[in-house]
Structure 1
């Protein structure tokens, strides 16, 4: 048949071809029903907006699944580091705050004191991703009050006794875990005394 493009019939029999043709027909009908001279605007098309919204929701779900898998893998790594006794030598990474929460969830709510102490020390010593000031600021919203109180108390005790070994300050973790508010108050008091 003259004027017919080669492969047109084959293209129309594919599901992609039929879907594209249906979409063009839908758009043509929208324009036929609109005021004369109306130009098609995909941003004003409810069907397109719904598809974009569904795509964004699916992408967000996929990102959540990937993040949950990353946290679970890092939690497994923490368990291995604990068993080897090398967690204290490990530098924290972005997202390790969520790993602490995952370990707590896995343990049925049991507080992960060793991981909390490790994060508090890393925050004070500016180890790993805490080297970045933005990560330190974000930690205030990501870490639990006992961990933050522990970090504040460690910082003040280290200023009070320069060069002190963190192992000598294990009592700070116990105080912060038992009474986070009191430990925070003590850190504030020590900062005032130092001033």
Structure 2
């Protein structure tokens, strides 16, 4: 908008304000007064600018500040909603643990943050059963881990012992089809004791079938 268009809008807003002042039910028109004040501000803004300046909202410091405040408020609201979701899911998983049915539950998108919440509630102590649940779900590709993208994301969301545990479980299950989870409890202990060595062992086991096939009879 150029100065002429802004001036015309200001006069229209002033006319509306005068008209509203004559009606008792419109005398307290907050929105109308706000619009009038805004047009007055824009008129002064262009009056202070160089001749021929055209008003552009993206160059208006007041508009930019309002948009930034709105974006910050929206981000804060999203954070609060996410925190509430995490807390509710943590309550749910805790209840399943107490019932002894956690292992029968499939993980969902965002459960990595729920793991962090459960760890925080426990005073930062490692939740062995929860970590084992994540490792098994990741190895067996359960729940949202069926999606390759979710498995890739897990590498940056889960701690090294859980990832190493999952990798070792996956290779042991491949080498010994049908092996029971209860038979692989040692994998969790190895991963907790030395996640780097456990991950190296999992990488080594990847090559075992090829080495076996190529070995002399």
From 20, 42, 52, give the equivalent of 1:8. 20
From 157, 163, 167, give the equivalent of 1:142. 157
Moved more, 47-56 or 18-27: 18-27
TM-score (norm 1): 0.92
From 68, 78, 81, give the equivalent of 2:93. 78
The structural deviation recorded for 1:36 is 2.4
Give the RMSD, CA atoms, in angstroms.
Answer: 1.7
**Alignment map for 1:174-193 (pairs within 5 Å):** 174-193=189-208
Does the aligned pair in 2 maintain the 1:176–1:183 contact within 8 Å? Answer: yes
Offset from partner CA, 1:18-73 (integer Å, 9 cap, x none): 22221111111111112222221001111111111111111111111111111011
Gaps (5+ residues) in structure 1? none
2:129 aligned partner: 114
Between Structure 1 and Structure 2, how many residues are aligned? Answer: 192
C-alpha distance in 2 between matches for 1:132 and 1:158: 19
From 41, 57, 66, give the equivalent of 2:81. 66
From 75, 97, 119, give the equivalent of 1:104. 119
TM-score (norm 2): 0.83
Residue 26 in 1 paired to residue 41 in 2?
yes
Larger radius of gyration: 2
C-alpha distance in 2 between matches for 1:106 and 1:12: 55
**Alignment map for 1:37-76 (pairs within 5 Å):** 37-76=52-91
Secondary structure at the aligned position of 1:13 is classed as coil
